[in-house]
Each structure stands twice: as C-alpha cells, then as structure tokens.
Structure 1
C-alpha cells in the first residue's frame, strides 16, 4: 500500500495481529475474516483491509513515546476490531449492501447473522485488548460506548434540522472517539503521564473532526471511480452531513424552502440530488467545509508540537495530516 509512512510502517504487524485474533473455525469465523478484508467470499486469502488508520496511530504513538510497539499490538488490533464491528452494524442500519467494492456481511448472510457477526467481533476485540492490560481495555470500552452514543445521535438526527454544534458533537463521538483512542491507547502503552494523555486526546479530537468532515465532502463531491459511491450519495440517503447542515443554516427564503421540500420526500431523484448539490455550491458550502478541515488540521499541528514526539515522528505525523487534508477516498 502506498501512502503516509504511519499507514505503512506497522501494516504487516497489524495484519498478522488481525489474523491471529480472528483465527479459528467457529460458524462465523470466516465471515469476520471476510469483513475485515483478510479473505474473499470463498475463503481465499486476500488483502482488502483499508487504511488501518486507528491501529497505526496506536503503534506510532507507543513507539514515539518509548514503548515496544509489540506490547501495544493487542490494543491496536482490539481497536481495529471495534471499528469493524461498528461498520457491520452501520451497514445494517444504513441499508448499505456494498463496502469497499464488495457485498456487506448482512447482504451476504442476512440481518440476523450480520448482528451476530458484529456482536462477536466486539467480543473478540475486548478479549484481544485485555492482553494489553486493564487500562487499555477500559480506554477501549469507554471509546466504544462513546462511539455508539454518536451513532445513536446520527440516527436520531435523520429527518431533523440540526445546527453545526449538534453535528460536531455527534461526529466527536461517532468518528472522533476511536481516533482519539488510537493516540490514547499508544500513550497508555508508553505509560504517558496525564498531561501527555490530555494532549494526545486533543490531537485525536482535531484529526477525528477533520477526517469526518473530509468524509462528508467526499460523500457529496467525491469521484465515484475512486470512492466507489455515486456522486451525491449522502444527499440521496438524506444524511445530515456537514455540507447539508451548513446549507440549511445558510439558505434563506426560496432556497431554504426548496431544500426542506426535497428533504421531505421519501425518495430523492437524480434531479433532486443535482438541485441540492447546485444549491450547496452556490451557497459556498464546499469551500466553507474545506476551510473547517484546514482549521482542525492546523489545530492538530499545533497540538503535535506540545507532545514529546521525535523530529522524525513529527515529520511522519505532518505527512499524515497533509494526506488527510487531500485524501480522495
């Protein structure tokens, strides 16, 4: 995989850790290996694992703060498994039948077994993280609870008009919790003091916001050939992503009523999606959202300088921050 060094440096170790955690022959074992991208539908070995951002942050942070990355590996693998359990359940809740160009677990095996697969993935995640010690397991469980709270808020906002503060509070939980945990779990492995853990939390908070806002931009303006999703897919699903939240808050008069009228429909047509995109662009929403990504990543850079990372580590993290600012999928 090409990309920032943080995402490639420990990739082999993370994949090996996932293979070990998901080894076995239980009735859902192959389903879990398929979902994370270790196998295809026939059980043949493959590698379709995505960026592995969160576990990479754990091992990067642990290494930079003086810990043996191997000691932090169970926490890193546990975090990635929690992320994947959430994706299995997200796909069911959102009705998504495809992920990373392949059928989702529930699309292959039905909703009931999809729920079972997600539940099992979470249980294996906790069992794996416990090998890193009780503090790591507790931090992972706290992040998991916060992530689920965010998903509950996300679902509750469907069909409602919300403000930017509501949106930010939701993504700080749904997306930010596990990214913050990536830095914090690495700090725990290195036995970092409380002030350092607080700075790691702030760093993860800024990167988590930037990551999700960029995701929201791609959900409307992303290149279908790169993202694997049709242009405007988040609009068609009537998601309360940041561009839509900003658009509704900025629109006035006929524009505001047009947006509300479209979002009252049960199903949106291609012309509805095009109309919303056109209105958002006219309101300058894309530029504003991109500015918010830049602001969060600037905050991340400032926080990074307060953490005792090496100069090489800071360079690697800056490279990751630049990548997140311009990523196309």
Structure 2
C-alpha cells in the first residue's frame, strides 16, 4: 500500500509524485501499442525525440495527480486509482494531439508538435488510439467507463463550440463559459470523480469532488486564456499574443467584445473584419474593455468555490491539503 504522508507536500513535489506513480503504468500501456502509434505517442509525451532517442518527459501530469489525490482524500489506496489516472492523461493527450492539428500549432511544450514531425494523419490516428486505450483501461478496472465517455463527449462538445466560434462574430459570454466548462472543466471533473470512485467515496463525496474539479477546470481555462494573450513565451512555449493572432474567442476576449465599452467596440471593428491587425493594440483594448480584470476575478472566485467544495467533501486530510496546494498552483500562474 502507498504511504500517505502526514504533512501536505508542496505542489511541485506532489506533481512529481503523481508523475512517478503513473509513469510505469503509462509506459506499459503505451508500450503495447504497435508502431508507428507507439513512437508518435512517446514523442508527444516527451519520452524520446523524433529518432527514438530518450529525452525528458514533458507536461505537468496535473490530471492524473488529481485522480490519485481524490482517491486518497476519501481514504482509498492510491494504487486503485492508477488505471483511471493513466486514462485521464491519455484523454488529455488525445485532445492535445487533435487540438494542435485543428489550430495549426507548430509547437507544444517547447518542441515541434507531433503533426509537424510525423504528418497530420498519423497524429490524428495516434490521438484516436490513445482515446480508445483510455476507455479500455477504465472499463477493465471497473464499471465506470461510461462516466469517462460522458466526460469525453462534453470535452468534444466544448472543442466543437470553440471551433465554431471562429466563424461567428456574435458569440455571447454565456456561450463562451459553457464552451470552457466542456473543453476544460469536464476532464478535470472526471479526473476527480474517477479517483473518488476508486477510493470508495460516498455518492456525496463523488459529486462534490467532481464539482471541485469542474470549478478548478474553469478557473484553469481563465488563466490559460490570459496567458494566451499576455503570457511569457519562455513559460508558455507559444508566441506572445498567440490567441489574438489566431482570432480566438477566448474568455477575456469575449468579455471585452460584449462589454459595450468604446474599447470593446473598437476591438470588434477590426477583430472580425481585418485580415491583419496589431496584436499589441488588440491586447490593450481587451484590457481597457475589462476583459483581463474580469477573467482574473472569475479565476479567483472559481478557485474559492472549488476549495470550499473540496473542504466539505473531504475535510482535514493530508490529501485535501495537497489538492488545495495543487489547485492554487494551477490558478496562481503569472497572468
């Protein structure tokens, strides 16, 4: 049985523990796949470079770590949650492989994206295989595969809405929030839900830990959207103002566009119509229209709601403290 620490560890240490706990099972599952899917997946995970030479793994392993900690928070043995933890990370990477193709992104985690190295078709097919493998892992471990597939449907619905927004100039703020709940909140929700179920949680604990994950996911998306405009490229791995250059209808952008302010009206006048514009000017207008402050405030409010829900679901446990530290780290990024 895995040792439960008596003192809550710092978030960075918890993430390293989560990665180390899940990594052997992740490598075993992916290692059984045929090439070239195995090779492309390993490259995407950062296990090796394009030629197959070992390299440093990339990604924070946030979602699988949430799964492990949710299991511990309700008194479960963390080993019981490993299959679900691997599954949610596979779903996450499935979505990233497809996102990079759809968005035309050429870098991910400071290296060329899989589709630019191996081709569009192979990258898409690798994502499909990872999703299938995730469902198989959860189905083999218990009766909760439908919970995962339901979350995947929500995720895909959010991604589909995000894509459709690119063709529209009338996206409302409520639509944008609903998109983010599906695109990001659903997978963090199911990460915590599956962990709680693996730990033998009560129905109330399962529901509350799932809601904790959903609130955290939406807060995380607010911060991601802020970083997509004002983030440091050295930290994000993407160009400054990248979301503006791609005409994203992100949360702070839609908040600005629908603000009814002169700055919002000016932003709309060229954001929809002009083939080229000054992204620095667009970023300034988003800020002047209140989009930046609104997303900051909403992220902070959602974090408080998430932590309040967590404390009711699993009060006074070491794992609760570590979930709290992880949530604060996920939201308290430079933005």
Q: List gaps (5 residues or longer) in structure 1.
A: none
SS of match in other structure, 1:306: helix
Partner of 1:282: 288
SS state at 2:247 partner: coil
Contact 2:73 2:317 in 1 (8 A): no
1:180 to 181, 184, 189: 189
Q: Any unmatched runs of 5+ in structure 2?
A: 1-9
- Cα distance in 2 between the residues matched to 1:42 and 1:315: 42
> Which residue among 227, 234, 248 is the counterpart of 1:239?
248
Of 288, 302, 310, which residue of structure 2 is paired with 1:296?
A: 302
Does structure 1 residue 155 correspond to structure 2 residue 171?
no
Q: CA–CA distance in 2 between the matches of 1:138 and 1:5?
A: 32
3-state SS in 2 of match to 1:9: helix
Counterparts of 1:36-75 in structure 2, within 5 Å, are: 36-75=45-84
The SS at the match of 1:317 is helix
Cα pair distance change 1:182/1:309, threshold 3 Å = farther
Does the alignment pair 1:143 with 2:151?
A: yes
Q: Indicate the residue corresponding to 1:218 in structure 2.
A: 227
Query: What secondary structure is seen at the aligned counterpart in 2 of 1:175?
Result: helix
Q: Does 1:204 align with 2:210?
A: no
1:77 positional shift: 0.3
Measured against aligned partners, the alpha-carbon deviations of 1:162-214 in whole angstroms (never above 9, x if no partner) come to 22211111111110110001110011102222211111121111101100000
**Is 1:252 the counterpart of 2:269 in the alignment?**
no
For residues 191 and 245 of structure 1, the distance between their equivalents in structure 2, rounded to whole angstroms, comes to: 41
2:271 alignment partner in structure 1: 263
Partner of 2:200: 191
TM-score (normalised: structure 2): 0.91
Q: Indicate which of 69, 83, 86 corresponds to 2:95.
A: 86
Q: TM-score, length-normalised on structure 1?
A: 0.93
The answer to whether the aligner puts 1:106 opposite 2:106 as a matched pair is: no
Contact in 2 for aligned 1:226/1:328 (Cα 8 Å): no
| Residues matched between the structures, number | 324
Q: Does the 8 Å CA contact 1:72/1:132 hold for their aligned counterparts?
A: no
Q: Could you report, residue by residue, the CA deviation over 1:207-234 in whole angstroms, capped at 9, with x for unpaired residues? A: 0110000000100111112112122110
Give the distance between the partners of 1:10 and 1:281, measured in 2 at CA: 37
